[in-house]
Amino acid sequence: MKPYNVVIDFYTGDLRPGKKILRRVSDIKKMCYDEKAAEELIQNGDPLVYEAIYADVPEEEGQLGHCTTIIYPGKVGKEYFLTKGHYHAKTGTAEIYFCLCGQGRLIMESMDGDCEILEMFPSSASYIPPFWSHRTMNTGTEPLIFYCIFPAEAGHDYSTIEEKGYPKLIVEENGEVTIIDNPKRRNR
């Protein structure tokens, strides 16, 4: 394997050369507090919620996966547009989110049930320790853009979060970013 450069646009999050995945409201419907509002959005064009653009790296120990994520501004009901959220399949692996543009929140939960929320803003680099699940939301009016780096063999476990949800939700109330308890939280 040879060294290589990718180029990351600080203002659009474009990463070249890279492989893009798109997530629409239909992809995150099950993760939304207000599934009825999600269904209405899906019927009305199923808007794009986020994109991730991955650089090419072998999924092997010692390698580092890296990608950009662009979460568009928007809400499902009163809940800010969010990523699916996941544990790593290899749970004992960390991740770093380096924010380039926009405003957001990063919610994390440890396997012991501790919940932490960090702010994301241009120049914040958030450290997600091993064994913490993670989800991000765009709480601003511009795209939230961040660069993600993780051990390349980390993998994704989406199902735990899909079933349990997080203890807290990040919603807009009276025009303010507000943290509320998640009434749909399930303990497995």
Q: Cα(144)–Cα(16) distance, rounded to whole angstroms?
A: 18
Least Å distance, CB 97 to its own copies, is 9
Q: Cα(35)–Cα(60) distance, rounded to whole angstroms?
A: 37
Q: What separation in angstroms does the CA of 3 have from each of 35, 57, 64, 101, 145?
A: 45, 11, 12, 27, 25
Beta bridge partner(s), residue 101: 145
Binding track over 5-44 against its own copies, x by CB under 8 A: xxxxxx----x-----------------------------
Beta bridge partner(s), residue 181: 168
Q: Are 58 and 153 in contact (CB under 8 A)?
A: no
Name the residue nearer to its own copies (CB basis): 37 or 149.
149
Residue 74: alpha-carbon gap to chain centroid: 14
Name the residue nearer to its own copies (CB basis): 65 or 165.
65
Residue type, 148: C
Q: Rule CB under 8 A: which of 90-149 touch its own copies?
A: 90, 92-96, 98, 106, 108, 114, 116, 118-119, 122-130, 132, 147, 149
Binding track over 52-91 against its own copies, x by CB under 8 A: ---x-x---xxxx-x-----------------------x-
List of residues contacting its own copies (CB under 8 A): 1-10, 15, 55, 57, 61-64, 66, 90, 92-96, 98, 106, 108, 114, 116, 118-119, 122-130, 132, 147, 149-152
